[in-house]
Amino acid sequence: MSPGLVDRDGETHVRVTSGLVLSKRRFAGLIAGVLFLFAVPDLVRVAQALDISFFQLGVIHRGLVFGFAAVGLNLLLRHTELVSFGHAAFFGTGAYTAAVAAVYLDVTGLLVLLLLATALGTVMAGVIGALSLRHTGLYFALLTLAFGQLLYAIALGQSALGGSDGMPVRPGEANEPLLFGQALGDAYGVVTYYITAVVVLVGLLVMWRIINSPFRYALDAIGQDRTRAEFIGLPVRRYVWTAFVISGVYGGVAGGLFAVFRRYVTPDGTLYFLQSGDILYMAILGGFKTLLGPLVGGVVLIVLEFVGRSVTPYFEFLTGTVLLILVFGFPEGIVGSLGEGGVFRRAVGQTRHGVASLREDPSVAGDWGRRIGRGLRQQIDESLTTLRVVLFGVS
Amino acid sequence: MLEARGLEKTFGRITATDDVTLKFGREEGELVFIVGPNGAGKTTLVNLLTGLLTPDEGAVVMDGEDITAMSPDERVHAGLARSFQVVRVFEDMTVRENIRTVVLARRKRTRSMFSLADGHEEVEVTVADLIEKFRLEDVTDSVAEELPHGDRKLLDVAMSFGLDPNYLLLDEPTSGVSTREKEYVIETIVEVSRAEGVTTVTIEHDMDIVTEYADRLVALHQGAVHGDGTPEMLETDDELRRLLLGVET
Amino acid sequence: MASGLETLVVQTLNGLQFGFVLFLVASGLTVILGILDVLNLAHGELFAFGAYASVGIFGYVTGAIAAPVSGGIGTTIVFVIGILAAIVVTGLVLIPVGVVLESVFLRPIYERDQVYQLVLTFALLLIIIDVTKFVWGDVPIRTNSVYSGINQIPTSELLGITFPTYNVFAIVLGAVVVVGLFYFFARTKTGRIVRATAINREMATAIGVSTDRVFTLVFALGAFLAGIAGAVRVPPTAATLEMGTNPLVLSFVVIVIGGLGSLRGAFVGAVVVGVLRSWMISFYPPGEIAAPFAIMAVILLVKPEGLFGTWGETA
Assigned domain for C138 exists: yes
Contacts of C45 in chain A (CB under 8 A): none
pLDDT at A349 over 60: no
Does C131 fall in a domain? yes
Vertex A314: Cα angle to A311 and A318 (nearest 5)? 80
Count A/C contacts: CB-CB distance under 8 Å: 145
Please judge whether C38 and A81 are an interchain contact, meaning their C-beta atoms are less than 8 angstroms apart. no
CB contact under 8 A, A19 and B119: yes
Dihedral sign, Cα of residue C298, residue C304, residue C309, residue C315: positive
Instruction: Using an 8 Å CB-CB cutoff, list residues of chain A that contact chain B.
Output: 18-19, 209-210, 212-218, 220-221, 224-225, 227-236, 239
| Residue among A76, A28, A61, A66 at smallest CA distance from A251 | A66
The yes-or-no verdict on residue A353 having pLDDT over 60 is: no
Residues of A in contact with C129 (CB under 8 A): 316
Chain A residues touching residue B97 (CB < 8 angstroms): 217
Q: What is the pLDDT along chain B (249 residues), one digit of tens a residue?
A: 898 999 999 888 888 888 888 989 887 778 999 998 888 889 999 999 999 999 999 999 999 899 999 999 999 999 999 999 889 999 999 999 999 999 999 999 888 888 888 888 899 999 999 999 888 989 999 999 999 888 898 899 999 999 999 999 999 888 888 888 888 888 888 888 888 889 999 998 888 888 888 889 999 888 888 888 888 887 787 778 777 776 544
A230 vs B contacts (CB less than 8 Å): 71-73
Q: Which domain holds residue A107?
A: 53-338
Cβ contacts (< 8 Å) between A231 and chain B: which residues?
50, 52, 72-73, 76, 81-82
C152 touches chain A (CB under 8 A): no
Task: Flag if A386 and C33 touch (Cβ within 8 Å).
Answer: no
Chain B contacts of A213, Cβ < 8 Å?
Answer: 112-117
Element (H, E) at C7: helix C3-36
Residue A208 C-alpha, separation from nearest chain B C-alpha, in angstroms? 9
A233 with B112: Cβ contact below 8 A: no
- Does the beta-carbon distance from C119 to A135 stay under 8 Å? no
- Among C22, C37, C38, C39, the residue to mutate for chain A (most A Cβ within 10 A): C39
Interface test with B, best of A20, A80, A225, A228 (most B CBs within 10 A): A228
Chain A contact present for C130, CB below 8 A: yes
Res B45: pLDDT = 92
State residue C315's pLDDT score. 36
Residues A166 and A282 in one domain: yes
Distance from CA of C230 to the nearest CA of A (A): 21
Tell me if A220 and B91 make a contact (CB, 8 A cut-off). no
Q: Between C130, C217, C290, which is nearest A150 by CB?
A: C290
One domain for residues A259 and A170: yes
Asked whether residue A156 carries a pLDDT value surpassing 90, the answer given is: no
* A364 in the same domain as A225: no
Statement to judge: residues A369 and A290 lie in one domain: no
Quote the pLDDT of residue C86. Answer: 83
CB contact under 8 A, C249 and A288: no
The CATH number of whichever domain residue A212 belongs to comes to 1.10.3470
Closest partner CB to A217 (pick from B76, B100, B114): B100
Chains A and C touch (3+ CB pairs under 8 A): yes
pLDDT above 50 for A377: yes
What average pLDDT does range C8-20 have in this prediction?
85
Q: Is residue A21 part of a domain?
A: no
CB contact under 8 A, A220 and B90: yes
Chain C, window 183-212: residues with a beta carbon less than 8 angstroms from a chain A beta carbon: 212
A237 and B102 in contact (C-beta within 8 Å)?
A: no
Q: Do A231 and B77 touch (CB under 8 A)?
A: no
Question: Which CATH number fits the domain that encloses residue C197?
Answer: 1.10.3470
* Residue A257: inside a domain: yes
How much is the average pLDDT of A110-133?
91
Count of other CB atoms within 10 angstroms of residue C75: 21
Q: Which chain C residue is nearest to residue A282, measuring alpha carbons?
A: C119
Contact call for B109 and A214, based on CB within 8 A: yes
Task: Evaluate whether residue C156 is within a structural domain.
Answer: yes
What is the C-alpha separation between A315 and A308, in angstroms, rounded? Answer: 6
Domain boundaries, position C93: 3-302
Q: Establish if C313 belongs to a structural domain.
A: no
Contact at 8 Å (CB) between B153 and B202? Answer: no
C251 interaction partners in chain A (CB closer than 8 Å): none
pLDDT at A218 exceeding the cut of 90: yes
Q: Which residue of A has its CA nearest to B97?
A: A217
Stretch A184-212: mean pLDDT:
88
Q: Tell me the chain C residues in contact with residue A386 when contact means C-beta distances shorter than 8 Å.
A: 99, 103, 212-213, 216
Reduced 3-state DSSP string for chain A: CCCEEEEECCEEEEEEECCEEEEHHHHHHHHHHHHHHHHHHHHHHHHHHCCCCCCCHHHHHHHHHHHHHHHHHHHHHHHHCCCCCCCHHHHHHHHHHHHHHHHHHCCCEHHHHHHHHHHHHHHHHHHHHHHHCCCCHHHHHHHHHHHHHHHHHHHHHCHHHCHHHCEECCCCCCCCCEECCECCHHHHHHHHHHHHHHHHHHHHHHHHHHCCCHHHHHHHHHHHCHHHHHCCCCCHHHHHHHHHHHHHHHHHHHHHHHHHHHCEECHHHHCCHHHHHHHHHHHHHHCCCCCCHHHHHHHHHHHHHHHHHHHCCCHHHHHHHHHHHHHHHCCCHHHHHHCCCCHHHHHHHCCECCECCCCCCCCHHHHHHHHHHHHHHHHHHHHHHHHHHHHHCCC
Classify residue C115: in a domain, yes or no. yes
Inter-chain touch B110–A19, beta carbons under 8 Å: no
Band (pLDDT 50/70/90 cuts) for residue A5 is: confident
Average pLDDT, chain C: 81
- Report yes or no: C279 and C32 within 8 Å, Cβ to Cβ: no
User: Phi and psi dihedrals of B81, rounded to 5?
Assistant: -130, 165
**pLDDT tens per residue across span C273-306:** 999 988 888 877 777 777 888 888 888 778 777 8
Using a CB-CB cut-off of 8 Å, the residues of chain A touching B116 are 18-19, 212-213
Q: Residue range C53-82: average pLDDT?
A: 71
pLDDT at res. B67: 92
Give domain status of residue A127, yes or no: yes
pLDDT confidence tier of residue A122, bands split at 50, 70 and 90: very high
Taking an 8 Å cut-off on Cβ atoms, the answer to whether A216 and B52 are in contact is: no
For residues A72 and A103, membership in a common domain is answered with: yes
Residue C127, domain member (yes or no): yes
**Helical (H) or strand (E) element with B39:** none
Q: What pLDDT band is residue C311 in, cutting at 50, 70 and 90?
A: very low
Q: Cβ contact (<8 Å) for A323 and C115?
A: no
Stretch (H or E) spanning B32: strand B31-35
d(CA A234, CA B90): 14
Longest dimension (CA), chain C: 62
Instruction: Place A340 in a pLDDT band, splitting at 50, 70 and 90.
Output: low
C221, pLDDT greater than 80: yes
Contact A213/B91, CB-based, under 8 Å? Answer: no
The least confident of A66-75, C66-75, C217-226 is C66-75
CB contact under 8 Å between A321 and C217, yes or no, is no
Query: Bridge-partner residues for B188, per DSSP?
Result: none
The reply to whether residue A138 touches residue C118, judged by beta carbons under 8 angstroms, is yes
The answer to whether residue A243 is domain-embedded is yes
Q: How far is B182 from chain A (nearest CA, A)?
A: 23
Give the per-residue pLDDT at C152. 66
What domains appear along chain B, each with residue ranges and CATH number? 2-245 (3.40.50.300)
State the average pLDDT over residues A137-164.
Answer: 85
Closest-CA residue in chain A for B165? A232
Based on the domain organization, do A189 and A73 belong to the same domain?
A: yes
Please say if the pLDDT value at position A162 is more than 90.
no
* Cβ pair A390:C249 closer than 8 A: no
Q: Render pLDDT for C238-282 as a digit per residue (tens, 0 to 9).
A: 778 888 888 898 998 898 888 877 788 889 999 999 999 888 888
Q: Are residues A260 and A383 in the same domain?
A: no
Same domain, A180 and A283: yes
DSSP, collapsed to helix, strand or coil, labels residue C153 as coil
pTM above 0.90, yes or no: no
Q: Let me know if residue A129 belongs to a domain.
A: yes
- Report the chain A residue with the minimal C-alpha distance to residue B79: A233
| C104 contacts A383? CB cut-off 8 A | yes
Give the whole-angstrom CA distance, residue C39 versus residue C120.
Answer: 10
CB-nearest partner of C119 from A81, A273, A327: A327
Distance from CA of A222 to the nearest CA of B (A): 9
| A206 confidence band (pLDDT: 50, 70, 90) | very high
Q: Residue B117: what pLDDT?
A: 83
Contact A145, C245 (CB under 8 A): no
**If you measure CA to CA, which chain B residue comes closest to A208?**
B114
Number of separate domains in chain A: 2
Per the structure, how many domains does chain C have? 1
List the chains bordering chain C where 3 or more Cβ pairs fall under 8 Å: A
A369 shares a domain with A266: no
> Does residue A206 share a domain with residue A332?
yes
Instruction: Output the average pLDDT for chain A.
Output: 83
On whether the CB atoms of residues A169 and A262 are closer than 8 A, the answer is yes
Confidence label for A247 from pLDDT (cuts 50, 70 and 90): very high
Residue B22 CA to residue B48 CA, distance in Å, equals: 12
Q: Is the pLDDT of residue A163 over 70?
A: yes
Question: In C, which residues are within 8 Å of A372 by CB distance?
Answer: none
Which residues from chain B sit within 8 angstroms of residue A214, using beta carbons?
A: 104, 109-112, 115, 117, 120
Q: Which residues from A are below 8 Å from C107, CB to CB?
A: 379
**B71, B91, B112 member nearest A214 (Cβ):** B112
Q: How far apart are CA A84 and CA A243, in angstroms?
A: 12
Element at B226 (helix H, strand E): strand B224-229
> Tell me: the pLDDT tens digits for A290-315?
888 899 999 999 988 888 888 888 88
Which helix (H) or strand (E) is B116 found in, with range? none
Say what the pLDDT of residue B93 is: 93
3-state secondary structure of B60: strand
Residue C84 domain flag: yes
Q: Which phi and psi (to 5°) does residue C68 adopt?
A: -65, 120
Quick check: C229 and C21 in contact, CB under 8 A?
Answer: yes
Which amino acid makes up residue A157? Answer: G
| Same-domain status, A290 and A382 | no
Band of the pLDDT at A255, cuts 50, 70, 90?
very high
For residue B115, count other CB atoms closer than 10 A to its CB. 16
Res A179 pLDDT > 80: no
Residues in A closer than 8 angstroms to B109, CB to CB, are 214
Rounded to two decimals, the ipTM of the complex is 0.91
Residue A31 in domain: no
User: Are A75 and A200 in the same domain?
Assistant: yes
- Residue C239 is given by DSSP the state B
